Amino acid sequence: MQSMHWKSFAARFANCIRFELGLPRQAGPDVDAAPRLGMFSKVLFPTPSDWPKLAQITGSWIIDTPEEFQPPQDLTDFLEAGEPPVYMGFGSRPIRDRGQVLMAFVQALAVTQQRGIFCSGWSELSDLEMPPFVKIIKGAPHEWLLPKCKMAIHHGGAGTTAASLRAQIPTIIYHVLMDQPFWAEQVAKIGAGPPNALHLKDINCKDLVQRIKFCMQPSVIEKAASIGQTLREENGISLAADLFFDHCDRFRPLEQKQMRYLTDESVNMCMDPSCRQMFGKSHPRHHCMSCGSIFCIKHISMARVPNYGEPQLCCGECVTLRRLGREDRSSSSSSSSSSSSPSFEMDKLPPPPPFKPPFISKTSLMMLIGATVVAAVSVSFFLFQ
């Protein structure tokens, strides 16, 4: 899944940004020092034992209902006119066989004697006439609508799955692609929905009736309510922010200069205050790949910098600050739990060899002399013929 996402479009954008920052091209989704945050709940998918420590599950990142949101009056009237309805919606994905899906939904509601709301999303369904127990809407915030429903039927996207579980109602999934079958399986494992989810193209009235009846069982309703309460107590955004700032503190102390990659033309002398050596052919520029400043060879050395597979040039100030930050943290947090992110080991390596002019082989030199002689003879021939 991660590899598919990377190859589809993430690689292009990530490497464009890295190019602008002067960072090396990233070949794949794996990075050696960047945290990975899972935007879902551990209740739905516990952390596997073989995951790296930099991979953390935060809980869902929830967008609250906008304060300016005002539900349509006809939707409010429908919700207040009877028992909580069954919700069906498939997000922004257009439904190919919308008539088949909607007909199966209406028939299943009639058989089970339930009311229903069908969220059409991008599909145009305004031309269809519905019985009084079915309401078609274009959309509404999940955090507002789903808690007012009896159960939710959807495609199993990560966000919609989190929303229906947080609403403390049973969830029925008819998946379409990518990660959706996985979330359908996880919902069934925790007991918040029926097992053996089908693809959306296989939806039919008989199957839908069985799944609705399954979700009407008191044990399933109680389980969904309990799981939803646990998820509502999580704060994924807050935990993600804490992990982000903790990672920044570990890898770049507050005293550390932020990366600002300077162009060669912007600096004509070494930026070390004790040097100020003018750059030239015998004194080339070298960028610090931690802060982006430019130094001569005397004030820069090879060091291991986060997100680089190989050692990179790093100025003395950046190496010192990273070392001090690591030593202070290791001495004060020797009893930290195994779940915390590991500190990065900074190993200073021997300095690179001094600059040497580029070597021209004997063959290349002879070819250059021969080309020069031929050019001179050709010019003389045209001038004196």
Report the alpha-carbon distance of residue 272 to residue 277 in Å, rounded.
9
- The pLDDT tens digits of the residues spanning 128-170 come to 678 888 888 888 888 888 889 999 988 888 888 888 888 889 9
Superfamily of domain 73-231: Glycogen Phosphorylase B; (3.40.50.2000)
CB 224 within 8 A of CB 165: yes
Q: What are phi and psi of 51, to 5 degrees?
A: -75, 145
Neighbouring residues of 228: CB distance < 8 A, sequence distance ≥ 6 = 165, 166, 167, 168, 169
- The pLDDT tens digits of the residues spanning 166-201 come to 888 999 888 887 788 888 888 888 888 888 888 888
CB-side neighbour CA atoms (13 Å) of 163:
27
Strands 312-315, 300-303: parallel, antiparallel or unpaired by DSSP? antiparallel
Report the alpha-carbon distance of residue 355 to residue 342 in Å, rounded.
37
Q: Given this structure, which CATH class describes domain 257-373?
A: alpha beta
More confident residue, 203 or 86: 86
Mean predicted lDDT score pLDDT of the chain: 76
Give the model's pLDDT for residue 357: 46
Strands 86-89, 116-119: parallel, antiparallel or unpaired by DSSP? parallel
State which H helix or E strand residue 57 sits in: strand 55-57
Report the alpha-carbon distance of residue 55 to residue 258 in Å, rounded.
24
Strands 294-295, 286-287: parallel, antiparallel or unpaired by DSSP? antiparallel
Strands 151-154, 286-287: parallel, antiparallel or unpaired by DSSP? unpaired
Strands 151-154, 86-89: parallel, antiparallel or unpaired by DSSP? parallel
Give the model's pLDDT for residue 307: 60
Report the alpha-carbon distance of residue 123 to residue 43 in Å, rounded.
33
> Average of pLDDT values for 254-269?
73
CB 134 within 8 A of CB 140: no
More confident residue, 80 or 35: 80
- The pLDDT tens digits of the residues spanning 214-260 come to 989 999 899 889 988 888 888 888 888 888 877 766 665 555 566 67
- The pLDDT tens digits of the residues spanning 11-26 come to 777 778 777 776 666 6
Report the alpha-carbon distance of residue 213 to residue 222 in Å, rounded.
15
Give the model's pLDDT for residue 254: 55
| pTM beyond 0.75, yes or no | no
Residue 7: band (very low, low, confident or very high) from pLDDT cuts 50, 70, 90: low
Indicate whether 95 pLDDT > 70: no
Q: What are phi and psi of 284, to 5 degrees?
A: -75, 165
CB 272 within 8 A of CB 261: no
Q: How many CB atoms lie within 10 A of CB 237?
A: 15
Nearest to 223 by CA among 191, 197, 266, 257: 191
Give the model's pLDDT for residue 173: 87
Q: Which of 73-82, 92-101, 275-284 has the lowest mean pLDDT?
A: 92-101
Give the model's pLDDT for residue 330: 38
Indicate whether 210 pLDDT > 80: yes
* Residue carrying the six token digits 């982006």: 292
SS3 353: coil
Indicate whether 33 pLDDT > 60: no
Fold matches, 73-231 and 257-373: no
Report the alpha-carbon distance of residue 343 to residue 330 in Å, rounded.
8
Give the model's pLDDT for residue 15: 76
Residue 104: band (very low, low, confident or very high) from pLDDT cuts 50, 70, 90: confident
Indicate whether 277 pLDDT > 80: yes
CB 129 within 8 A of CB 113: no
Q: What are phi and psi of 367, to 5 degrees?
A: -65, -40
SS3 38: strand
Token pair, residue 315, equals 């100025």
Query: Any idea how long the chain is?
Result: 385
- The pLDDT tens digits of the residues spanning 321-375 come to 665 333 333 343 344 333 333 333 334 444 444 444 444 555 666 776 777 776 7
Extents of the domains making up the chain: 2-62+236-245, 73-231, 257-373
Give the model's pLDDT for residue 342: 33
> Average of pLDDT values for 7-11?
65
> Average of pLDDT values for 43-49?
84
More confident residue, 282 or 330: 282
Indicate whether 282 pLDDT > 70: yes
Amino acid found at 269: M
Q: Where are the alpha helices (DSSP H) in 216-361?
A: 218-232, 236-251, 316-332
Indicate whether 382 pLDDT > 70: no
Give the model's pLDDT for residue 329: 33
Angstrom CA distances, 281 to 254, 275, 287, stand at 36, 17, 16
